[in-house]
Structure 1
Amino acid sequence: MRVSLRLLRYFAAAAETGSTMAAARLLNVSQPSISVAIRELEALFDDTLFTRESGSKMTLTRFGVRKLGEAHQLLKAAASFEADDSGDAASGEVQIGVFSTIAPVYLPALLRIARARFPDLFLRFVEGDLLQLEDALRSSRIELALMYDVGLPADIDRECLAELKPYALVPAASKLAKRAGKLSLHDLAKEPLILIDLPHSREFLMAPFWQCGLAPEVRYRATSLELVRGMVANGLGVSLLITHGEPALPAGAVERPIREETIRQPLVIARPAKASRTKASELVAQCARDAVSEALSTRAGHTRRRTSNKT
């Protein structure tokens, strides 16, 4: 038996959906076709690709995770070959990842720009934390990711789009909000802290305090930027953040710059270092650059108007 693209597609669909039934629905084929394909591949490799759990849930083995990454690379190479053969890179499908806290800020604009420029190019996206996106890049489940660079390893290339400085989010009714000028981390550390609790993010956001020898009380932890903003608006504490949300903040929350010069957070397009880049993924990367540029320009314009109104 030789490995075919059909077998690889069936295997990848089963891995992504977690069951042969869901994979069959996704590909519009019969469930036995998916099961037979997996058995044929396991017979060829003389190793198991999945563990079968209670019910119909299927989980990749360590061997299966490695083979899935190789399958994704082969399928993407085939898709690139077909696109080049037709002379139309702006078609087909590109899978991208977006860090969960920045997805609401940049992803809608990215999708809008891509749809307007390349209506025949279909984008599939996944949201995840930084560790999940690193894993998805390594296994080739996604071709690129819009994320923060918090010590990305050498096997992942990164293109810096912006360097963002931490800022304080404080309740509008608090004494901190009424102070003129920038806020000090020393004053912020005296208040209950609401922390973004995601892998890598939590350490990065605590680092400015640690650099100043401060240990604020972490009163609440949340994984959603919107939840943190809402909690601050309700007077439950303060927060140190990187990602700016929509210009219109909740009525009870105020953004303030930080006085101390702290480490900055690179916003990057990340890609596997050794993977080939399709023309379609390059088109999507340009859409990501333009979406970030548009969002930052809009933010800067809003800040200038707000400052002008105060003076």
Structure 2
Amino acid sequence: MRVSLRLLRYFAATAETGSTTAAARLLNVSQPSISVAIRELETLFEEALFARDVGARMTLTRFGVRKLAEARHILGAATAFEVDKSGDASAGEVQIGVFRTLAPVYLPVVLRMARERYPKLSVRFVEGDLAQLEDWLHGGQIELALTYDVGMPDDIERELLAELRPYGLLPAGSRLARRKGSLSLHELAQEPLILIDLPHSREFLMAPFWQFGLQPEVRYRATSLELARGMVANGLGAALLITQAPASSQVTAVVEKPIREDTVRQPLVIARTARATRTRASELLAECVRAAVEEAKIQRA
């Protein structure tokens, strides 16, 4: 039996969605055809691609992770080769992962730019935390990621887009919000803190306080930027944040204040594995990511 692109697409879709049923819906084919394709590949390799637990999500075996990365490279190369009849090199498909708190700010702009500039470019995306993005890059589920550079291993290449400074988010009616000028970490540490509670993020956002020997009271923990901003808007506390809210969701119930002290900055990067194939489609999308970040810089200025 020869391995076809169809089998590889079925395998990749199953790995991405976690089940043959979801993969079938994604690809608009029957569920049995997906199951048969997985069995054919496992018979060919004489090794399991997935660990199967009754009622649980299908997870890749260590062998499956390696084969998925290879499959992604082959499918990416095939997509780059399959240009349309006019020879338009801007056609193709690309998978990107975006850090969860960054997605509302940048992803809509990236998708708009990609649609306007490259209408035949198909963009698929997933949101995740820092650890998930790293796993997806290594596993080949995504070709590139828009994320923060926090503790990434050496085999992941990073292209620096911006260095973001932390800022304080305060209820609009509070004493600190009404006062002119910047905000001191010592002042912010006296307020009940609403902390973004995601892997690596929580430590990074506490680091500026620790740098100056401060230990604020964490009143609430949130896993999304929107929830944290909503809690601050309702007077439940203050927050130290890195990610700016998208311009479309700015509300008058909160006030952003620059931090007075010179403290840590967060590198915003495009991340890829060093061994990843840089397809034409991924390069076009990376161009849109760069443009979206630059647009955000101009708007914030």
TM above 0.5, yes or no, is yes
Shift of 1:148: 1.0
CA–CA distance in 2 between the matches of 1:278 and 1:78?
A: 10
The residue aligned with 2:262 is 261
- For the Cα contact (< 8 Å) 2:82–2:92, is it kept in 1? no
Shift of 1:88: 2.5
Matches within 5 A, 1:89-100: 89-100=89-100
Matches within 5 A, 1:158-237: 158-237=158-237
CA–CA distance in 1 between the matches of 2:163 and 2:153?
A: 18
Work out the number of aligned pairs and report it: 300
Mapped pair 1:44 → 2:34: no
The residue aligned with 2:81 is 81
Instruction: Return 41-50 or 278-287, whichever deviates more.
Output: 41-50
Matches within 5 A, 1:130-141: 130-141=130-141
Shift of 1:260: 0.5
Matches within 5 A, 1:239-250: 239-247=239-247, 249-250=250-251
Instruction: Return 71-80 or 122-131, whichever deviates more.
Output: 71-80
- For the Cα contact (< 8 Å) 1:177–1:254, is it kept in 2? yes
- For the Cα contact (< 8 Å) 1:70–1:139, is it kept in 2? no
Mapped pair 1:68 → 2:68: yes
Amino acid paired to 1:48: A
Which digits, 9 at most, give the CA deviation of each residue in 1:162-221, with x for residues without a partner? 111000011122221133321111111111110011111111110000110111111100
Amino acid paired to 1:147: T
- For the Cα contact (< 8 Å) 1:230–1:250, is it kept in 2? no
The residue aligned with 2:125 is 125
Amino acid paired to 2:258: P
User: In structure 2, the residue corresponding to 1:124 is in which secondary structure?
Assistant: strand
User: In structure 1, the residue corresponding to 2:63 is in which secondary structure?
Assistant: helix
Which digits, 9 at most, give the CA deviation of each residue in 1:50-109, with x for residues without a partner? 222224843322322222222112211222233499742211211111111111111111
Shift of 1:28: 3.3
- For the Cα contact (< 8 Å) 2:72–2:140, is it kept in 1? yes
Instruction: Specify whether residues 52 and 151 from structure 1 end up closer, same or farther in structure 2 by C-alpha distance, changes over 3 A only.
Output: closer
Instruction: Return 206-215 or 47-56, whichever deviates more.
Output: 47-56
Supply the RMSD in Å over aligned alpha carbons: 1.9
- For the Cα contact (< 8 Å) 1:170–1:255, is it kept in 2? yes
- For the Cα contact (< 8 Å) 1:89–1:279, is it kept in 2? yes
Amino acid paired to 1:53: D
Shift of 1:34: 1.9
The residue aligned with 1:295 is 296
Which digits, 9 at most, give the CA deviation of each residue in 1:17-73, with x for residues without a partner? 222233233333333322222112212222212222224843322322222222112
Shift of 1:249: 3.5
Instruction: Specify whether residues 134 and 181 from structure 1 end up closer, same or farther in structure 2 by C-alpha distance, changes over 3 A only.
Output: same
The residue aligned with 1:113 is 113
CA–CA distance in 1 between the matches of 2:85 and 2:46?
A: 35
The residue aligned with 1:303 is none
- For the Cα contact (< 8 Å) 2:167–2:259, is it kept in 1? yes
CA–CA distance in 2 between the matches of 1:183 and 1:29?
A: 56
Identity %: 72
User: In structure 2, the residue corresponding to 1:8 is in which secondary structure?
Assistant: helix
Instruction: Return 214-223 or 175-184, whichever deviates more.
Output: 175-184
- For the Cα contact (< 8 Å) 2:166–2:259, is it kept in 1? yes
- For the Cα contact (< 8 Å) 1:156–1:272, is it kept in 2? yes
Instruction: Specify whether residues 57 and 195 from structure 1 end up closer, same or farther in structure 2 by C-alpha distance, changes over 3 A only.
Output: closer
Shift of 1:124: 0.8
Instruction: Return 144-153 or 54-63, whichever deviates more.
Output: 54-63
5+ long unaligned stretches in structure 1: 301-311
Shift of 1:252: 2.5
User: In structure 1, the residue corresponding to 2:82 is in which secondary structure?
Assistant: helix
The residue aligned with 1:277 is 278
Instruction: Specify whether residues 12 and 177 from structure 1 end up closer, same or farther in structure 2 by C-alpha distance, changes over 3 A only.
Output: same
Instruction: Specify whether residues 31 and 179 from structure 1 end up closer, same or farther in structure 2 by C-alpha distance, changes over 3 A only.
Output: closer
Amino acid paired to 1:265: Q
